Amino acid sequence: MPENYRALQGFKDILPEEQPYWRLIENTASEVASLYGYQRIETPLLEDTTVFRRTSGEGTDIVEHEMYSFDDRADKEGRRQNISLRPEGTASVVRAYLEHGMFKLAQPVKLFYMSMPMFRRERPQAGRLREHHQFGCEALGESDPAIDAEIIGMLYQIYTRLGLKNIRVNINSIGDSNCRPQYIEKLKAYYQPLLTDCCDDCQIRFHKNPLRLLDCKKPQDQAKIAAAPRITHNLCEPCQEHFASVQRYLKFYGVPYDIDTLIVRGLDYYTRTVFEFTSEIDNVALNGGGRYDGMAEIFGGPQTPGIGFGVGIERVILELKRQGIEPPAEPKPRAFVVYFGKTQDMKDAATQLTAELRQAGIKAATSYGERSNKAQMKQANASGAEFSIIIGEDELANGTLSIKQMQVGQEKTENKQVQIKRDEIIPYLTGHQA
C-alpha cells in the first residue's frame, strides 16, 4: 500500500470487528440519557474559530496549539473566515442553544450528542487520538445543584450499565468569577517564595495558568502542593452552598465519589462544579465535565447557567477491553442459501429464495459465483448460520428445499437434514425462532 494512501497520523478507521463495542456504548448511553430526559442534538463539525477560542480560553493548550484551524475560501468581498474542526462539544451546543432561541423554551433544556468526532492535533498515544469521538450531555438554563448531581448520577449509571467496575468519581468546585480570582492570588502568594525551588514547568505555570501548579506530577513539588491553600476552603458563600448541595443530592444517586481539590480542568469556561471519572487501573480520564455558568454571555446571549460532560468513547472501549467485557456480537444469519448446480435456473431459484427470506425479515446469506458444493457448505459454516438451505437438481425438480441444521455437533448428516416443500420455508424458519 503506497504510504500516502493511509489514514492520517492519529486518525483511525473503525472496522467491523470494533462495531459491537460502539453499538453497546451508543445504545446504553442513549437509553440512559433518554431516561433522564435528554434529547439528541447534532452540531456541525466546523465552526467559526472564535466559538472555541472565546469559550475554551486563549491560554489553553487546546486552542493555542491543538486546533485544526484554517481560512475558508474568500467570499465575494474577499474576506476569509477562519474556521476550525471542533476540539470539544460544549461550545457548539451552547452556540446552537442560543442561535435557535432555546432560552425561550421551558428550562432547563437537556441535550445530548452521540459519537460526535472531535479533533485535537496532539501526539497520539494510548487512549489519545487526533480524531476521537465523544458522547456528551448538556443541561442548559438551570443552576440548581440538583442538576449537577443528576448529571453525575446519570454518568455513573451509564458506566454501571456497561458493566464497568472500579470507576473512580472525583468532584471539585473551582468557584466562580467572584471567588476564584481571589483564590488564585492567594495561591500565587503562597507559591511566590517557593518558586525558585519549583520545576521548570511550574515556573511557567505560575505566570500562565497558576491553577495548573496543583496539577504538577514532579516529586519535588508534591510537598508544596500538599500544603497549598485549597480552593474548597476559599469559595465564596454561594459557591460553598452550591457545592454542599451537590454533594447532598449526589447521595441519592448512590455515586461513590471523592472530592479531589486538585482537579483543574483544561478549559477556561468551567465554574463551580467540575468532575472527572477515571479508571482505577491508570489515570486516564474517561470523561470530564463541569458547570459553565458564564458561557452563554461570552456569545452575547442572556446569562444562562449550564452543566455538561463529554465522554471519550475510544477510552471507554479501552476500559471495556481491559475489564474483559464482551459486547453482544452481531447476530449470525438464520439461513445460508446454497445451490448445488451451475445452471441459471438453479442460480435464479437461490437468488429468489434469498430475496424472499430477507423481505420476510429473516437474516439470510447466500453464496455468489461458481463455487463447488463443498466450498459453499464451508461458507455456510463460516457464516455461523443456523441452517443451510440447499437447492439442487432434486429440490428444483420436485419443488422442495433441503434444510440442514448447522450448529448441532458432529452428528451424521441424515440426522440433521430434512426436506420440506418450497412454500413452507418461511413458516419453518419463523417457527424455529426462539
Binders in 63-82 for RNA, by CB under 7 A = 66
Task: Give min distance, CB of 210 to RNA, in A.
Answer: 12
H or E element that contains 354: helix 344-359
Task: Give min distance, CB of 254 to RNA, in A.
Answer: 22
- Note whether 267 binds RNA by CB under 7 A: yes
Cell (9 digits) for 423: 412454500
Q: Which stretch binds RNA (CB under 7 A): 78-86, 235-243, 348-356, 367-375?
A: 367-375
Shorter beta-carbon distance to RNA: residue 291 or 315: 315
Binders in 84-123 for RNA, by CB under 7 A = 88, 118, 120, 122-123
- Applying CB under 7 A, what is the total number of residues that bind RNA? 77
Which backbone phi and psi does 179 adopt, to 5 degrees? -105, -20
Cα(238)–Cα(222) distance, rounded to whole angstroms?
Answer: 31
Q: Which stretch binds RNA (CB under 7 A): 167-175, 184-192, 260-268, 356-364?
A: 260-268
Task: Give min distance, CB of 365 to RNA, in A.
Answer: 13
Shorter beta-carbon distance to RNA: residue 67 or 149: 67
Cα(292)–Cα(180) distance, rounded to whole angstroms?
Answer: 14
Cα(3)–Cα(405) distance, rounded to whole angstroms?
Answer: 46
- Note whether 343 binds RNA by CB under 7 A: no
Query: Is 308 among the annotated ligand-binding positions?
Result: no
Q: Which of 82, 93, 86, 90 is nearest to 117 (CA)?
A: 86
Q: Which stretch binds RNA (CB under 7 A): 69-77, 137-145, 172-180, 370-378?
A: 370-378
Shorter beta-carbon distance to RNA: residue 19 or 81: 19
Query: Is 134 among the annotated ligand-binding positions?
Result: yes
Shorter beta-carbon distance to RNA: residue 5 or 79: 5
CB-count exposure of residue 48 (10 Å: 0-12, 13-18, 19+): middle
Shorter beta-carbon distance to RNA: residue 102 or 120: 120
Binding mask 220-239 for RNA (x = CB under 7 A): --------------------
Query: Is 294 among the annotated ligand-binding positions?
Result: no
Strands 285-291, 271-279: pairing kind: antiparallel
Query: Is 270 among the annotated ligand-binding positions?
Result: yes
Whether 274 contacts 263, CB under 8 Å = yes
Binders in 150-209 for RNA, by CB under 7 A = 201, 205
Q: Which stretch binds RNA (CB under 7 A): 166-174, 211-219, 229-237, 297-305?
A: 211-219
**In sequence order, which residues have a C-beta less than 8 Å from that of residue 275 and are 6 or more positions away?**
152, 169, 170, 171, 172, 257, 263, 288, 289, 290, 309
Cell (9 digits) for 49: 474559530
Query: Is 330 among the annotated ligand-binding positions?
Result: no
Q: Which stretch binds RNA (CB under 7 A): 8-16, 148-156, 225-233, 422-430?
A: 8-16
Shorter beta-carbon distance to RNA: residue 67 or 357: 67
Q: Which stretch binds RNA (CB under 7 A): 160-168, 170-178, 297-305, 401-409?
A: 401-409
Task: Give min distance, CB of 372 to RNA, in A.
Answer: 4
Which of 177, 192, 381, 430 forms a contact with RNA (CB under 7 A)?
381
- Note whether 422 binds RNA by CB under 7 A: no
Spacing of C-alpha 168 from chain mean position: 18
Beta strand ranges found along 260-339 (DSSP E)? 271-279, 285-291, 306-312, 335-339
The residue to which cell 473551582 is assigned: 174
How big, in percent rounded to 5, are the helix, strand and coil portions of the chain? 45, 20, 35
- Note whether 83 binds RNA by CB under 7 A: no
- Note whether 351 binds RNA by CB under 7 A: no
Binding mask 117-136 for RNA (x = CB under 7 A): -x-x-xxxxxxxxx-x-x--
One DSSP character per residue, 38-99 reads -EE----SEEEHHHHHHHH-TTSHIIIII--EEEPPP-TTS---EEEE-S-SHHHHHHHHHH
Shorter beta-carbon distance to RNA: residue 147 or 167: 167
Cell (9 digits) for 243: 457545592
Q: In what order do the strands lie in the sheet with 46-48?
A: 46-48, 82-85, 69-71
Query: Is 89 among the annotated ligand-binding positions?
Result: yes
Which segments are annotated as binding site?
A: 88-90, 120, 134, 138, 265, 269-270
Residues in the annotated binding site for L-histidine: 88-90, 120, 134, 138, 265, 269-270
